[in-house]
Amino acid sequence: MSRAAAGAWRLMSFETLGSTSDHCRACAEAGEPDGLAVLAGQQTGGRGSHGRAWASPAGNLYCSVLMRPKGAAREGGLWSLLAGVAVAEAVAALLPDPVRLSLKWPNDLLLDGCKLAGILVDSSPDGAGGLAWLVIGIGVNLAHAPDVPGRRTACLAPFGPPPAPEAMARAILARLDAWRAIQAAEGFAPVRAAFLARAPRLGTRMAVRIGDTETAGNFAGLGEDGSLLLEAGARVRAFAAGEVRLLAGA
């Protein structure tokens, strides 16, 4: 393990961990203050969304951050969108044509429609309606595009030598700092606007799955609370959680 400063962050680097997010959770529960970032060269128990495993070959980015933001516990999901914007901006700086990147609510960064990065948010309430801590796990396919059943994946290797994971982590942490400051000063609206700028076009056909129920409709933007808005039938429905699938022709 090594420690280094990364701007306002305390960066801990490991050759191998079970999960960077699990390590951050343990640190949070032990009282570690805001501003910890944990980086691993490989993970033996990486976690993705909806209980999936996250393949973790050496050369890709596996980084989690611990924050203790002010605000209501119900706002925890907003941080997934903020992190998505930060990751997108850090990656866009490495591509000759950044328009090929898009954000898929609530936690995926796509390259030409293929999954390039994922974000996983864990949080714990403080007992008074706020957040005791928030952990954001970030995985970016730098050198490898692991096989994921039912998903197309991408990596940065076709665009030249991919960045080292630590360099990518520092770039993302810098953008997280910038967006934390913007949100603290101006609220969620600028984050929402930045996410929508990289989201699918309004009217894009998609489906949202929650458990065994899937609802199809047309993308109608994001609510002021970060919820996904879907025009389904004669009304617009708001989803605070769920797994999004872009439909054929989208």
Confidence of residue 4 (pLDDT cuts 50, 70, 90): low
Q: Which two tokens stand for residue 230?
A: 């879907």
User: φ, ψ for residue 247 (rounded to 5)?
Assistant: -90, 160
**Are domains 2-198 and 205-246 of this chain identical in fold?**
no
Tell me how long the chain is. Answer: 250
Taking only the tens place, the pLDDT of each residue in 183-231 is: 999 999 999 999 999 999 999 999 999 999 999 999 999 999 999 999 9
| Predicted local confidence at residue 134, as pLDDT | 97
For residue 249, pLDDT over 80 is answered with no
| Predicted local confidence at residue 151, as pLDDT | 84
Query: How many Å separate Cα 148 from the centre of its chain?
Result: 17
Closest by Cα among 76, 88, 74, 75 to 172: 88
| Number of alpha carbons in the 13 Å side-chain half-sphere of residue 35 | 9
SS3 168: helix
Q: Which two tokens stand for residue 35?
A: 């501003």
Transcribe 70-84 into DSSP letters. -SBGGGTTHHHHHHH
Report in angstroms the alpha-carbon separations of 12 from 3, 23, 47, 61: 5, 10, 19, 14
| Predicted local confidence at residue 250, as pLDDT | 53
The answer to whether residues 116 and 101 touch, using CB atoms and an 8 Å cutoff, is: yes
Beta bridge partners of 29: none
Taking only the tens place, the pLDDT of each residue in 45-95 is: 877 665 666 677 899 999 999 999 998 998 888 999 999 999 999 999 999
Mark 51-83 as b/e (b = at least 16 C-beta within 10 Å): eeebbbeebbbbbbbbbbbebebebbbbbbbbb
Q: Please confirm whether the linkage preceding 106 is cis (ω < 30° from 0).
A: yes
For tokens 């994921």, what's the residue?
148
- Please state the CATH superfamily assignment of the domain spanning residues 2-198 in this structure: Bira Bifunctional Protein; Domain 2 (3.30.930.10)
| Sheet-wide strand order for 228-232 | 235-239, 228-232, 213-222, 205-210, 243-246
Report in angstroms the alpha-carbon separations of 22 from 18, 28, 39, 52: 8, 10, 12, 15
**CATH 2.30.30.100 matches 205-246:** yes
Q: Could you state, in order of their start, the residue ranges of all structural domains in the chain?
A: 2-198, 205-246
How large is the average pLDDT for residues 114-136?
95
